[in-house]
Every structure is written in structure tokens, then in C-alpha cells.
Structure 1
Amino acid sequence: MDINLERKIKLNGVKNGLLLGIVYSAIEIFYFYYITKIAGSALLLISGRVIFPLVLPILGVIYFCLKSRKQAGGFWTFKQATTGIFIMLCVAYVVYTLGVSLLFNKVIEPNNIQKTEAAVIEKKIAIMKQGGAAQKDIDAAIADTKKDFGEDKPASLFYIIFENAMAILFLFVFAILFASMIRNAEYVSVTDPNHTRAG
């Protein structure tokens, strides 16, 4: 086992996690302003709710996973891949929590959930009225939207701990999934001058 490679994978996991966390935070913040200020049609509203919370984050993870493997020399085992990706995701989660959940949501835009809900409802009403929808259908859509957002209740300490524990567990499963997709089939130490590409 190459100890230097193991250390390099972990260090790159931290570095890439910082970058990924910044990217995630930027996407989330832009998504808020996209929903509240930009999206003015059904197509923009629906596509935005798929692209920003789902597509772009997944593409970001894939990019940084491949980057991590390249930084490791293109050769790493399933265990090394899982370790590097898990560290990266955990660091990204911490950066996202500090940047978005605490700084942006609590300081810069403390009422962002209510603003997002109000913007979505307003745009849905305008879109449905343009389409000639009946008032009862509009009312039903408003009720569904409010149900989706739910009530913003203060979370207990137990709930916060439980939520973060579940998030870490999810990140570990996610790391295993991506590690199985991009790992090398075999591993040959990059310190061996006679090694050939494996997997």
C-alpha cells in the first residue's frame, strides 16, 4: 500500500471538497434568485427546479470524482476511491452548510423560504391564468405548493443531530456508489516504474 498515495487522495479530497462546496453554494444561491427574479414562464420554472437542485449538483460530483482519480495518477482501488470521494462530499457538505444554511439563509436572506414560496405561487397563478385555468384548479395548485414547502418550524437539537447524521450516512452511500462507477478494476502502485494501466 502506497502511504503517500493514500495521504494524497485524502488531501485532494479536502481540496476538491472545498471547491465542490463553493460550487454547490453558488448554485443554490443563484437558484434562489432564479426562482424569485428570473423564471417567468412554466418552462423556465419547471426546468429550473430540475436543473439547479438535481442535474448541476450531480454533474459537479462526477467532475470532481474524475478529477480526484486523475490527481491520484489515474489508479486507485475501490477503498481509495470511496475514501477520497467520501472526504470530498463531507467537506463540501460542511462548506455548503456554513455558506448557505447559516450565512445566506440566516443573515443575507433570512426569509428566503417564504420568498421562494411566494414567488413560486405568484408565477404559478400567472401561468395558470394565462392558460385559462379555473379558480378551483388555481386554488388546488396553491395548496399543493404550500404543502411542498411545509411549515418552517424551529428544529430541536435532537432533530438537527439526527438530520446531519442521516446526511453523512447518505454521503457515505453516495461515495460508495460513485466509487464503484469510477474505480479501477485492478490496482498497481504508481511507485512501480513497470506498472501498466489497470481497469
Structure 2
Amino acid sequence: MIIEIDKKQLRKVGITFGLLLGLALTILSIVSFYIMISTSSVIVISSVPFIFSIVFPIILVVILCFNFRKNIEGFWTFKQAATGIFIMFFVAFAVQFLLRDQLFARVIEPNMVEKTQTAMTSAVTSFLEKSKASQDDIDKKMDDIQKQFDAQKNVSIGKQIEGVGISIIFIFVIAIIFAAFFKKEGQVYNPNNDPII
């Protein structure tokens, strides 16, 4: 016999933790942006996205998953864990999409991509010049950077919808992976199954 979890409580905790995760990820993303545009170091520009987009979020998600499980009696099956974690991730994605992608990137910092490109171009050029790279190599690298940023500047509504769809599928897969790690099934004692009796 498996311990039953109240589905309303699972959704409620998932939404609450999703809001927390979404706000935290939005703040990390904004801080990362401001660090990147205020530095001229290639090492900082290269490492900040990794640290703020992968390392800190994974640590935060692990902490939230442990607390999530603790808030719903300490036990949950794989299905319950996957459902709860997916709700948390989906709400976090929605919060981040609204706050970072729509409000911050379109209203507060509408030139976000251009500012990031300027900072990266400046840092990479300085680094390549210090390392005695040829002008052809520098020009080639600048063209590569320009192509990467051009793709980010003009995103159509269709591309945004496609991106959201892909993100939801990715969120589901990641939720399943985290559920596999964080499931903890509790067994209820049933005297009919006791071999001693």
C-alpha cells in the first residue's frame, strides 16, 4: 500500500515553489546580464552565463525539491514527484517568461541584446589583440559573434511560440529526471502482509 498525497496540496506547493524558483531565476538572469555588460574580461563573460544559468539554478532546484518533498509528508512516488516538479518548473518558466523576457527585455532593457553584444565584442577583441591574434582571425571571430547575435535580435511570434513549445517539452524531460532522483516512496504497514502473523 502506498501513502496517498493530496493532489491539491501537491499543486499548491508546486505553484508556490515555482513562483519562488521563477523569481530567483529571473533575478539571477538580470544580475548575470548586468555583470556581463559591466566587464571587459573574457573569462568573466564566458563563466558568468554558466554559473548563473546552470550552477546556481541546479543548486536552487535541488534545495527546492528536497523542501518540496518535505512539505508533502516526506514521501512521494515517481509519478507524484514528476507531477509536482513539472508544476514547479512550468510555473517558474512562466514567471521567467513574463518578468525577464517580456517585462525586462522589452520594457526595462529593450537594448539588452545589443548591450550584451557590445560587451562581448569588446572583451573578445581585447583578448585576441593581447594574445597577438592576426586581424583576419579577429575579423572572423567578430563575424561569428555578429551572426549569433543577429539571430537573437529579430525573433518572430512564430519562433517565440515554437520556443515555448520546445521549452515545455524540455521542462517535462528535466522534471522526469529530477523525479527519478527525488522520489521517495513510503510504505504503509498492512498487517495482512506481515509474514510473522
Normalised TM-score (structure 2): 0.87
Q: Which amino acid aligns with 1:25?
A: T
Q: Give the Å deviation of 1:4.
A: 5.5
Greater RCO (Cα-Cα under 8 Å, separation 6 or more): 2
CA deviation profile, 1:144-163 (whole Å, cap 9, x unmatched) = 2122223322413x433322
Give the RMSD, CA atoms, in angstroms: 1.9
Residue 195 of structure 2: aligned partner: none
CA deviation profile, 1:164-194 (whole Å, cap 9, x unmatched) = 122111111110010001111x3336xx7x9
Q: Give the Å deviation of 1:52.
A: 1.5
> Is residue 34 of structure 1 aligned with residue 8 of structure 2?
no
SS at structure 2 position matched to 1:132:
coil
Q: Give the Å deviation of 1:142.
A: 0.9
Q: Give the Å deviation of 1:73.
A: 2.2
Mapped contact 2:40–2:119 kept (Cα < 8 A): no
| Cα gap change, 1:79 to 1:115, in 2 (>3 Å) | same
Residue 186 of structure 2: aligned partner: 187
Q: Which amino acid aligns with 2:173?
A: V
CA deviation profile, 1:20-57 (whole Å, cap 9, x unmatched) = 000110011011101101x3323222221321222222
> Is residue 168 of structure 1 aligned with residue 168 of structure 2?
yes
Question: Take 2:64 and 2:131, find their aligned partners in 1: how far apart are those partners?
Answer: 42
Q: Give the Å deviation of 1:132.
A: 2.0
SS at structure 2 position matched to 1:65:
helix
For structure 2, list consecutive stretches of 5 or more residues without a partner in the other structure. 192-197
Mapped contact 1:65–1:85 kept (Cα < 8 A): yes
Residue 64 of structure 1: aligned partner: 64
> Is residue 78 of structure 1 aligned with residue 78 of structure 2?
yes
Question: Take 1:36 and 1:2, find their aligned partners in 2: how far apart are those partners?
Answer: 51
Q: Give the Å deviation of 1:5.
A: 3.0
Structure with larger Rg? 2
Q: Which amino acid aligns with 2:34?
A: Y
- Aligned-pair identity in percent equals 35
Aligned residue-pair number: 188
Residue 197 of structure 1: aligned partner: none
Counterparts of 1:1-199 in structure 2, within 5 Å, are 5-37=6-38, 39-151=39-151, 152-156=153-157, 158-184=158-184, 186-188=185-187
Mapped contact 2:21–2:61 kept (Cα < 8 A): yes
CA deviation profile, 1:33-92 (whole Å, cap 9, x unmatched) = 01101x332322222132122222222222211221121222110011001100000100
Mapped contact 1:86–1:171 kept (Cα < 8 A): yes
Q: Which amino acid aligns with 2:12?
A: L
Q: Give the Å deviation of 1:114.
A: 1.1
For structure 1, list consecutive stretches of 5 or more residues without a partner in the other structure. 195-199
| Cα gap change, 1:63 to 1:150, in 2 (>3 Å) | farther
Normalised TM-score (structure 1): 0.86
